[in-house]
Structure 1
Amino acid sequence: MKGGTAEELYDFMSREIAWRRKELDDIRGLISANSSIESKRRVLLRSGITMLYAHWEGFVKNTGKAYINFVGKRRFKYNELSVNFLALSLRQKISFVNADSIASLIDLVTFFEGGMNDRISSLSKEEVNTKYNLNSTVLKNIILSLGLEPDDFISKGNLIDVKLLDKRNAIAHGRDILIDEEEYVELLDNVLALMNGFRNQIDNAVTQEKYKRQ
């Protein structure tokens, strides 16, 4: 995505959730259509869990990176950024500091004294790192990095960590676990709601310009 305008970001996120919802709805339909054939139903439910997690992680990663890209393209001054984006931009600078080098430390102090009026060159999209294991702790870190509100997601920590991630990991590692159809459908609806909530928070952050220092 170009990500130069709010409209481009909104469109990107809408497309991201639309194709994922379509694929997950198709899997739901296949499970329902084969509910009387135990062998097929079992395989589809196990596949459904792995696909559901893949779409959850992929959506958070792609939309989070798109939001960072959008903010980075604004080329704000450091002192114009919200605290979370300032922290991300400074982490890149601090990571290059050699604590054993006084010259390196002087450069950092000099920046803090006079460089806050400089414009950022970019924001690293690598800040949205799911670590291929998007549990509630990793998710909270991503949400705080983006300046979003974590409460709605952290309250679903058991759903994310146990009902989704633990089951996905068990299946991915070859364990023979059974998935209950009603539980899967409920989990699917909850994860789709979380994806919508994540998108809506970014929508609101862009509309209200929460990426800027208030």
Structure 2
Amino acid sequence: MRTLDELQDTLDEDFAWRRSELHSYLSTVRRAHSESTAQRTLCRAGIPLLYAHWEGYAKHCLSAYLKYVGRRRLTYGELHPAFVALGHESSLDSEEGMSATRKIVRRAQALLSGDGVRATIPWRRGIDTQSNLNSVRCFDLFESLGLDASPLHTKARLIDYQLLRVRNEIAHGQYLSVGANSYEELHAEVLWIMDFVRNTVSAAAENQAYRRSTGIL
């Protein structure tokens, strides 16, 4: 992931197959007899699929961005504070047996004297969505990469209740009636938030938002 084109290609390619699969599934829902048992079953089964693509794509995009920034080989002094924190915390986590107090001192030392040091960004392990990507976790991940998630805040309830909670209940065998109209609306919302993640990452990379702005210490 060394160039903007490579980053954009992986964002677009991963989005394309997911969108194609979701549109294909929606077409199947639409072809089923209206309000039939088959259609309701398809709609109910589609919720975990929508969630899987939401979590999978968010993880793919954010991990790709992390890798892209990590391979810039920048110093801590050149990086946005979010990546400075990621790099230093990763270095501390790799040292086993260190006491909490010692970690605090080492963290302070690194922050005070490390601007000229090449950053160690933990891009190889990617982003951890914890297999339960609720809105709080999503916003935290954006914050950890210096990305602005504020336009997504209006979707918090949709993510937590209409998508994640319903997915969990269906996955655990509970019966929920999901109509075709509700499913189609959720389908459109999921594609919107996936596209938002893609555009946010793409713009951040293009605008070099991972670099430290003038005046930020």
Q: Is the TM value for this pair above 0.5?
A: yes
Note if contact 1:4-1:70 (Cα within 8 Å) is conserved in structure 2.
yes
Unaligned 5+ runs, structure 2: none
- Tell me, what secondary structure is at the counterpart of 2:115? helix
Q: Scaled by the length of structure 1, what TM-score is found?
A: 0.91
C-alpha separation in 2, matches of 1:90 and 1:170? 39
C-alpha separation in 1, matches of 2:33 and 2:21? 18
Unaligned 5+ runs, structure 1: none
Q: Is 2:103 the partner of 1:99?
A: no
Note if contact 1:127-1:142 (Cα within 8 Å) is conserved in structure 2.
no
Tell me the equivalent position of 1:194.
193
Query: Quick one: percent identity of the two aligned structures?
Result: 33
Higher RCO, Cα 8 Å, sep 6+: 2
Q: Is 2:67 the partner of 1:69?
A: yes
Q: Is 2:26 the partner of 1:12?
A: no
- Shift of the alpha carbon at 1:4? 1.0
Note if contact 2:47-2:167 (Cα within 8 Å) is conserved in structure 1.
yes
Tell me the equivalent position of 2:122.
123
- Taking a change above 3 Å as real, the CA distance of residues 186 and 8 of structure 1, as seen in their structure-2 partners, is same
Deviations 1:43-89 (A, max 9, x none): 21112111000000000001110000000001110111101111111
Q: Scaled by the length of structure 2, what TM-score is found?
A: 0.90
Deviations 1:131-152 (A, max 9, x none): 1111111111111112111211
- Tell me, what secondary structure is at the counterpart of 1:211? coil
Residues 83-98 of structure 1 aligned to structure 2 (within 5 Å): 83-95=81-93, 96=95, 98=98
Structure 1 stretches of 4+ with a deviation exceeding 4 A read: 104-110
Count of residue pairs the alignment pairs up: 211
Note if contact 1:21-1:192 (Cα within 8 Å) is conserved in structure 2.
yes
Note if contact 2:88-2:107 (Cα within 8 Å) is conserved in structure 1.
no
